[in-house]
Amino acid sequence: MRRDASIEVGKFLDAAAEPLQLTLLSDWGELDRKITSMRIQKPGLALSGFVKHVFPDRIQVLGLTEIDYLLSCSPEQARAGLEAFCSKPLCCLAISRGLDPPDFLMDVARRHGVPVLRSPLMSSVFISRLTRKLEDLLSPRATIHGVLIDVLGVGLLLIGRSGVGKSEAALDLILKGHRLVADDIVEVSVRPPDTVWGAALEMHQHHMEIRGLGILNITHLFGVAAVRDNKKIEVVVELSEAQEEDYDRLGTEPQVWPILGVDVPLARIPLRPGRNIASLIEVVARNQVLKFRGHDSAREFQEKINARIAASARGANIRGPGPDVPVPTPRASSGAVPSPEVE
């Protein structure tokens, strides 16, 4: 199930007030205006009335330059520029460095119902943190039935039909020292440029359901080192009862599984009695680490075979025809001296 990527100013303030040290300066409501863009905007020339390229769905950040410009203008000129700027209508204004906004700025914002926020952070620090927070809050999101686990630093999303053994395999991996991120329901989001991150729902965080045992608190059982809050999904591992002809024996054909429009590498593990699924999943993570370092075992093996075949073909061409081809005997010329007979 996918959720729309937008957030109201009031909810954004609740989520970002502490990390961004934000306070609300306005008292005229309008906190239901929606922020729909991860990017922020510095007004610049827009404060002079040139508002052609103002995007009202972005948070408008006013720093020392913008406030000094407004104070350097005549009140009439400043108000005229602000009237055009705030009439877009803007989702909200955010003032950095803890600066005090001019009275005429607050009057124009009140008249247009634009919320005004303030942070004591320096503009560069504030913009950096604000951008990261917006990426987290506004990323496209969906929920997936599966188990997300961190194996050797690689985020593996285990998928498959209900009851196939995803949670049991994840529990075996936790016993090997790896870390649980989410069980049963994984909330996924896309972060720029094209990375998929997963986390557990708040109610399910650090818990796991094992048939026959019920709900387990992994933190209480194995400690805080056995869990983590979120992880980038780097490989999707499908556990299925696939037939022999349904999967690649060599592993040279790349397979992907799309998540919110991003193709994530896919590894398919067919279930058979007696197979150690947890160990196979761990090998998937180790093989992915090798690929990160530029080593693809399957492709390297295929290249060796192709090189051997090519070398054999070149050798056959150099040696000429095979032994079954008759070789003509050269005739002696009329002036040739016959070879002496050997007694």
Q: SS3 helix, strand, coil % of the chain, rounded to 5? A: 35, 25, 40
- Residue 227, marked binder: no
- Residue 294, marked binder: no
- Residue 123, marked binder: no
Which one is catalytic: 33, 118, 166, 206?
A: 166
Phi, psi of 323 (to 5 degrees): -70, -20
37 CB-near residues (< 8 Å, 6+ apart):
55, 57, 58, 134, 138
- Residue 74, marked binder: no
Sheet bearing 262-270, strands edge to edge: 179-182, 147-151, 154-159, 235-240, 262-270, 256-259
Rounded to whole angstroms, the Cα distance separating 317 from 260 reads: 53
Which one is catalytic: 57, 136, 172, 184?
A: 184
- Residue 162, marked binder: yes
- Residue 128, marked binder: no
Which one is catalytic: 53, 211, 249, 319?
A: 249
Could you confirm whether 166 is annotated as catalytic? yes
- Residue 161, marked binder: yes
**Backbone Cα Rg of the chain:** 33
- Residue 166, marked binder: yes
User: Which helix (DSSP H) or strand (DSSP E) does residue 174 occupy?
Assistant: helix 166-175
Q: How far is CA 157 from the centre of its chain?
A: 12
Nearest to 57 by CA among 77, 35, 40: 35
Q: Is the peptide bond before 120 cis (omega within 30 degrees of 0)?
A: no
Which one is catalytic: 39, 145, 220, 286?
A: 145
Could you confirm whether 249 is annotated as catalytic? yes
- Residue 322, marked binder: no
Cβ proximity of 167 and 159 under 8 Å:
no
Pairing of strands 23-24, 93-95: unpaired
- Please state, in angstroms and as integers, the Cα–Cα distance from residue 159 to each residue in 42, 113, 218, 227, 267, following that order: 43, 47, 20, 19, 10
Residues in binding site for Mg(2+): 167, 209
Residues with a known catalytic role: 145, 166, 184, 249
Residues in binding site: 160-167, 209
